[in-house]
């Protein structure tokens, strides 16, 4: 009996017991209730150690309390607090496949509307394990406090308590270092909330989210409509009127946007062992009648990469200087993006199709703020589909979209996010039958294999679109979102491009940032390859003008690529730029024809370079101000209704779209309805 009493009063044993039990609960949640996508032994090790640091730090607070009973209460409260946070995330994740943020807590009424009716249904039998240790702990507390005598327990020396806190900090430092090594720029880019939980744990995520929320709120609290003055002045003065010969040439057509993941321009018309890497995309780009393609089009992404590209194409504003706008600001920002504009101006239905989880890049929240009515993420696709890297294989994803696409009311604005051509370019012999390059760098060598697979996927998708009748009445916007081969691998790539790796420099790196952009319009006869310079910031005004919608009233930082007044200076997110004549990199000027560094003063072009540099920095700065202070909440263009994200719910989308078909009856414009209420799935070619 005395041994049991001593055990109950041994502070080290209490800390160890409470800590181990909470660690076990956390691991249970990681594996049973959360889907964190753990891959390999390193990520598994990180996952197993990430609860230790914060548990040790928080639970260790009770070591500083001298009297035993108050110390025990502190330990219990710390355990209770952490368990509540853990369990709230478990319930929240079961309903929303996401983690609780500070904003979702502050907006509890909105969250409770989504889960209150089903909260009991969300509970599971094994949930008892999350609370069992606390029930025992509470029983011990009641027993101890029922005894009026003070229980003797030797307090821990302060130096030992401090040592425990230092050990917790050291453990977190090791955890963070391992995480950064496995997932570089984890906290700067914030791909997905689940990544932070997977690498650093729930407590660290909650603290990180709280800091980010406070930073954002602090900036926005001081914002006012006065901040729009310089922004409106800039965008109005840089507006480029549409080319009358291009304005409205695709009016009323369905818009099908094909997002080519990590796809660079050099892949177009490239051959390996005499075989074209992308024969189908080549056929589109080289169609001088039906396609308007660009060979001097650059991505302009920063750390947000794919999400930055999406943001520019959807909103006409730049990504952030650090991190991803989607993940940092996307939950609350006011947008005036393509889905809402097209819906309000021309009655378009909007949809995104993506073979990865909806929370990646925070899309499940951002798309609602953009006004997307439909978002078909990984949950809408067959669970048995093969998954490589960042989602299911493109061939399977595109084929399965048909069952959803055919129920959308026309005209529709649809975006297809491909993922197979994504670093590290994972391949197998079953799905990837194209020869690899032979540079000795596996990233470079396999890049052409996954690009060829993507090309085959698109050919099969287009075969279906032609067979179903959608092709002829659509405009296709096809773009590469960002580089696939990073600068550090370009010297190895140089060999495959027939260039000398020894002379490769940062000018060559900059020129490699070209990505494809094509507008393919079936039946159009005045296409051809366009040589003007442009970037992703220019896409939205260009698309709107092709659809017959003037972009003048919207705040957009790009200009119509076809306009005679189009600004051909392309801003990179770091402040560098490229123009038809010169490239400016870190304060050094290069001649585009020779690739040689030049002295602007000696060539009497210093004023021109300075003017372009000033404009680039101004555009980036004003865009950052607009987004960081959420200034669009103070500006509503004439005829535009601000987006209400609460209108959108991405559950049961097929049932909702089928209900719309039934409601409209003969007036339904969906492909399914137009096909005599018959599915077109059988028209899709067999995958091979």
Show the domains of the chain with their CATH numbers.
Answer: 2-220 (no CATH), 227-672 (3.40.720.10)
pLDDT at 652: 96
Is 39 annotated to bind a ligand? Reply is no
The distance from CA 196 to its chain's CA centroid, rounded to whole angstroms, is 14
Reference 325, options 302, 349, 353; nearest CA is: 302
Tokens of 380: 């809408």
Planar angle of CA 105, 106, 112, nearest 5 degrees: 55
- E strand or H helix at 537, and its extent? none
Is 596 annotated to bind a ligand? Reply is no
Cβ–Cβ under 8 Å, residues 398 and 419: no
Is 261 annotated to bind a ligand? Reply is yes
pLDDT at 116: 44
Task: Please state, rounded to an integer, the average pLDDT across all residues of the chain.
Answer: 91
Rounded to whole angstroms, the Cα distance separating 265 from 286 reads 13
pLDDT at 113: 40
* For residue 118, pLDDT beyond 60: no
pLDDT at 7: 60
Rounded to whole angstroms, the Cα distance separating 261 from 554 reads 28
Reference 58, options 84, 79, 87; nearest CA is: 79
Cβ–Cβ under 8 Å, residues 281 and 459: no
At residue 405, what are phi and psi to the nearest 5 degrees?
Answer: -60, -40
* For residue 494, pLDDT beyond 90: yes
* For residue 504, pLDDT beyond 50: yes
Pairing of strands 474-480, 517-520: antiparallel
pLDDT at 39: 84
Report, as an integer, the average pLDDT of 320-333. 88
Identify the residue whose tokens are 């189009």.
566
* For residue 163, pLDDT beyond 80: yes
Cβ–Cβ under 8 Å, residues 220 and 630: yes
344-393 pLDDT, tens digit per residue, is 999 999 999 999 989 888 999 999 999 999 999 999 999 877 777 678 99
pLDDT at 140: 83
Report, as an integer, the average pLDDT of 56-76. 88
Query: Is the pTM here over 0.75, yes or no?
Result: yes
Tokens of 356: 């990865």
As a three-state string, the secondary structure of 251-264 is: CCCEEEEEEECCCC
Highest mean pLDDT among 25-39, 80-94, 145-159, 361-375: 361-375
- The catalytic residue positions are 306
Rounded to whole angstroms, the Cα distance separating 570 from 532 reads 11
* For residue 555, pLDDT beyond 80: yes
How much of the chain exceeds pLDDT 90, in percent?
68
More confident of the two residues 243 and 33: 243
403-432 pLDDT, tens digit per residue, is 999 999 999 999 999 999 998 888 888 888
pLDDT class of 257 with cuts at 50, 70, 90: very high
Report, as an integer, the average pLDDT of 296-322. 94
434-484 pLDDT, tens digit per residue, is 999 999 888 899 999 999 999 999 999 999 999 999 999 999 999 999 999
pLDDT class of 149 with cuts at 50, 70, 90: low
Is 422 annotated to bind a ligand? Reply is yes
Is 407 annotated to bind a ligand? Reply is no
* For residue 112, pLDDT beyond 90: no
């Amino acid at each position: 009996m005395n041994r049991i009493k001593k055990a109950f009063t041994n502070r080290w044993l209490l800390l160890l017991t409470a800590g181990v039990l909470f660690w076990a609960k956390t691991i249970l949640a990681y594996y049973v209730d959360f889907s964190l996508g753990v891959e390999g032994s390193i990520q598994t090790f990180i996952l197993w150690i990430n609860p230790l640091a914060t548990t040790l730090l928080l639970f260790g607070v009770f070591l500083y309390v001298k009297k035993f009973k108050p110390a025990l209460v502190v330990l219990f409260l710390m355990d209770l607090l952490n368990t509540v946070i853990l369990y709230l995330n478990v319930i929240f994740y079961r309903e929303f496949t996401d983690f609780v943020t500070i904003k979702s807590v502050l907006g509890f009424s909105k969250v409770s509307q989504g889960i209150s009716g089903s909260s009991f249904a969300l509970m599971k039998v094994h949930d008892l394990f999350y609370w069992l240790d606390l029930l025992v702990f509470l029983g011990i507390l009641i027993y101890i406090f029922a005894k009026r005598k003070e229980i003797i327990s030797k307090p821990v020396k302060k130096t030992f308590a401090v040592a425990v806190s230092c050990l917790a900090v050291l453990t977190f430092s090791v955890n963070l270092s391992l995480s950064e090594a496995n997932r570089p720029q984890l906290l700067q880019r914030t791909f997905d909330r689940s990544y932070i939980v997977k690498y650093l744990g729930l407590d660290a995520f909650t603290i990180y989210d709280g800091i980010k929320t406070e930073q954002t709120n602090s900036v926005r609290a001081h914002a006012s409509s006065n901040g729009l003055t310089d922004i409106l002045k800039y965008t109005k003065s840089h507006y480029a009127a549409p080319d009358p010969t291009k304005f409205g040439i695709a009016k009323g057509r369905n818009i099908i946007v094909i997002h080519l993941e990590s796809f660079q321009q050099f892949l177009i018309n490239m051959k390996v062992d005499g075989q074209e890497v992308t024969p189908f995309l080549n056929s589109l780009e080289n169609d001088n009648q039906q396609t308007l393609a660009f060979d001097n089009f650059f991505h302009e992404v920063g750390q947000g990469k794919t999400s930055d590209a999406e943001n520019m194409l959807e909103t006409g504003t730049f990504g952030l200087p650090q991190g991803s706008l989607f993940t940092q600001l996307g939950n609350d920002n006011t947008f005036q993006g393509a889905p809402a504009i097209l819906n309000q101006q021309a009655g378009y239905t909007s949809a995104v199709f993506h073979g990865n989880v909806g929370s990646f890049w925070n899309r499940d929240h951002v798309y609602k703020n953009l006004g997307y009515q439909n978002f078909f993420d990984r949950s809408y696709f067959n669970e048995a589909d093969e998954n490589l890297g960042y989602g299911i294989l493109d061939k399977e994803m595109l084929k399965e979209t048909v069952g959803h696409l055919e129920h959308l009311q026309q005209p529709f604005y649809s975006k297809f996010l491909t993922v197979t051509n994504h670093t590290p370019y994972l391949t197998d012999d079953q799905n990837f039958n194209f020869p690899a390059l032979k540079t000795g760098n596996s990233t470079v060598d396999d890049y052409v294999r996954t690009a060829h697979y993507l090309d085959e996927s698109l050919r099969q998708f287009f075969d279906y679109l032609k067979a179903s009748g959608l092709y002829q009445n659509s405009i296709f916007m096809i773009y590469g979102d960002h580089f696939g081969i990073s600068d550090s691998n370009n010297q190895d790539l140089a060999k495959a491009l027939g260039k000398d790796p020894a002379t490769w420099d940062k000018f060559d790196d900059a020129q490699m940032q070209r990505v494809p952009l094509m507008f393919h319009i079936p039946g159009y006869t005045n296409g051809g390859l366009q040589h003007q310079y442009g970037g992703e910031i220019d896409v939205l005004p260009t698309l709107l003008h092709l659809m017959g919608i003037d972009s003048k009233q919207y705040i957009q930082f790009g200009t119509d690529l076809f306009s005679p007044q189009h600004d051909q200076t392309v801003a990179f997110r770091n402040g560098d730029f490229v123009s038809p004549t010169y490239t400016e990199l870190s304060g050094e000027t290069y001649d585009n024809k020779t690739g040689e560094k030049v002295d602007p003063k000696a060539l009497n072009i210093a004023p021109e370079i300075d003017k372009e540099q000033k404009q680039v920095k101004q555009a980036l700065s004003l865009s950052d101000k607009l987004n960081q202070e959420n200034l669009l909440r103070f500006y509503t263009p004439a005829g535009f209704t601000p987006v209400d994200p609460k209108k959108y719910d991405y559950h049961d989308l097929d049932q909702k779209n089928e209900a719309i078909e039934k409601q409209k009856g003969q007036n339904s414009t969906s492909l399914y309805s137009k096909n005599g209420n018959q599915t077109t799935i059988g028209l899709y070619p067999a995958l091979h």
